[in-house]
Structure 1
Amino acid sequence: MSAIEESQPPRAGRLPRNARRRQLLDAALSVFVAQGYHAAAMDDIADKAGVSKPVLYQHFPGKRDLYLALLDESAASLMEAVRSAMSATDDNKERVRATVAAYYEFVEDKTGAFRLVFESDLIGEPEVRDRLEAVERQCAEIAAEVIASDTGLPDAEARLLGAGLAGIAQVTARTWAANGEPLPREQAIDLVASLAWRGIRGFPRTDEH
C-alpha cells in the first residue's frame, strides 16, 4: 500500500440517512474552515468524510448547498445560545454576562463554525449576505425584546441597544480569538461584560421607575 493510500480515511460503510448527513456536514465544515469556500472542492469533502462523490451528491446537489446548510446550522446555534442567555435569568447584569459568554463560547468552538457566520468569504453573494444580516438582526432583536420589556424604552431605542450589546460581544470575542486568546476566557468575558453593563445599567428596569 502506498503512503498516499495509507493517509486516506477508510471508505465509510452504510449509515442511516441522518447519520450520513451529519458526517458529511462535519467533513464539509472542516474543509470550508481550513480552505475557505472557493478553494474547497467536493472531492476534498468526500475524501474527508471517507465516502465517494456519488454518495456526497445524494445528500447535497452541490458545494453551495453544503455551505448554506452549514451556515444555517451555525447561525441557528448562535441565535439559540443568545436566546438561552437572555431567558436564563431575570438579573440584567447576569443577562449581559451570559450574552457576552455566548459569543465567546461560539468563537471558541474548535470546529471553527463561527468563521462561516462572522468571516464568510461569500459575503458578496445575496443568499449568503441575507442570511448573515438576518442572524445579526435576530440576535440583536432577542436582546432588544428583553431590554424593551425591562426598561420601557421605545422599540427603536431597545433595538439599537440590543445591536450594541451583540456587536460588543461579537467583535471582542473575535479579537480575543484572533490574538490567540491572550486572557483566560472567563476573565475576558468578565472584562467585556463589565464594560457593557456600565452602559446598559443606566437604563433602569420599568419596575424601578
Structure 2
Amino acid sequence: MRMPDDLHTTARGQRLPRTERRAQLLEAALRVFTENGYHQAAMDDIAARARVSKPVLYQHFPGKLELYLALIDRHASELERLVRDALALGDNKTRIRTMVAAYFDFVGHEGAAFRLIFESDLANEPEVRSRLDQIVLTCAEAMAGIIRDETELGQEEAVMIGVGLVGLAQTTARHWLSHGDTISKETATRITGALIRRGIAGFPAVSRGEAADGRESTVSPAG
C-alpha cells in the first residue's frame, strides 16, 4: 500500500508527523515570500525550498493565499502573546517598557515574519487586510488597559490612542531593524518606551477620589 506523501520517511528513516511537515512547509513559504514577494512566489518554489513534491504542499494548503494567511496567523499569534504577556507585568512603567521590548525582540528574532506582517505586498487583499487590522486592534486593546488606568479617557478613546502607540512601537522597531548597526536595541527600546509614557502622560488622569473641596482632582500619570 502506498504511503501518503506527508508521511514519507525522513533521511533518518523516521516518518515526519503531519504537524512537523506543516511547520516545515510554513518555514519554507516564509523564506520564499519574504525573498520574492507574494506575487512573484510560486508554489513550485515553496515545494522546492521544503524539499517536497508539490502534491505534498497541496495536501496541507489548497492554494498560495491559504498558505500566506496561515503564515500571518502563526506569527501574529506569537506577537500578540508577547504583547499580552508584557502588559500583564508589574506597574505601568514596567508594562510599557516590556511591551516595547517585545516588539524589538520579535523583530530581532523574527525579522522575516515581521516584514511579512507589516510590509506585506498583499495588504489590499481583504482577507489579509482583515487579519493585519486585527493584529493591531488586539495589541491596541491590550494597551488600552494601561491608558485607562492612567487617564480619564473612555474605552473607545483609549483603544484609539492604543492604536497610535502600537503603531509607534511597530514603526520604531522596523526602523531599528534596518539601522541596528547605528543604534543599539537597548537605546532604541528605552527611547521608544519613554516617548510612549510621555504621550500617555499628556492626558490628565482623574484621581481615584475627590479633592477636599469636592472638586475632582487630577494626578499626573506615571512616567
Would the TM-score normalized by the shorter structure come out above 0.5?
yes
Matches of residues 51-66 of structure 1 in structure 2 within 5 Å? 51-66=52-67
Structure 2 residue 39 is the aligned partner of structure 1 residue 38: yes
Distance of 1:129 and 1:82 partners within structure 2: 20
Distance of 1:84 and 1:136 partners within structure 2: 16
After superposing the two structures, state which structure 1 stretch, 178-187 or 60-69, moved more.
Answer: 178-187
Letter in 2 for 1:15: L
Matches of residues 149-168 of structure 1 in structure 2 within 5 Å? 149-168=149-168
Distance of 1:194 and 1:87 partners within structure 2: 19
After superposing the two structures, state which structure 1 stretch, 188-197 or 158-167, moved more.
Answer: 158-167
Rate the CA distance shift 1:49–1:135 in 2: closer, same or farther, 3 A. Answer: same
Letter in 2 for 1:57: Y
Distance of 1:131 and 1:51 partners within structure 2: 28
Do the aligned residues in 2 keep the contact of 1:152 with 1:205 (CA within 8 Å)? yes
What's the secondary structure of 1:182's corresponding residue? Answer: coil
Shift of 1:186: 1.1
Q: Please list the CA deviations of residues 173-198 of structure 1 after superposition, one character each: whole Å capped at 9, or x if unmatched.
A: 11111234421111110111112112
Do the aligned residues in 2 keep the contact of 1:30 with 1:111 (CA within 8 Å)? no
Rg (Cα) greater in structure: 2
Structure 2 residue 93 is the aligned partner of structure 1 residue 72: no
Distance of 2:171 and 2:196 partners within structure 1: 13
Equivalent residue, structure 2, for 1:87 = 88
Structure with the higher fraction of residues in helix conformation:
1
Structure 2: stretches of 5+ with no match in the other structure: 1-7, 210-218
Equivalent residue, structure 2, for 1:18 = 19
Do the aligned residues in 2 keep the contact of 1:104 with 1:185 (CA within 8 Å)? yes
RMSD over aligned CA atoms reads 2.0
Distance of 1:73 and 1:165 partners within structure 2: 23
Do the aligned residues in 2 keep the contact of 1:29 with 1:70 (CA within 8 Å)? yes
Letter in 1 for 2:173: A
Do the aligned residues in 2 keep the contact of 1:12 with 1:50 (CA within 8 Å)? no
Rate the CA distance shift 1:22–1:111 in 2: closer, same or farther, 3 A. Answer: farther
Distance of 2:208 and 2:152 partners within structure 1: 9
Q: TM-score, normalised by structure 2?
A: 0.81
Do the aligned residues in 1 keep the contact of 2:150 with 2:200 (CA within 8 Å)? no
What's the secondary structure of 2:86's corresponding residue? Answer: helix
Distance of 1:137 and 1:23 partners within structure 2: 29
Distance of 2:133 and 2:58 partners within structure 1: 29
Distance of 1:62 and 1:182 partners within structure 2: 41
- Matched residues, number: 198
Do the aligned residues in 1 keep the contact of 2:47 with 2:53 (CA within 8 Å)? yes
Equivalent residue, structure 2, for 1:126 = 126
Shift of 1:109: 2.1
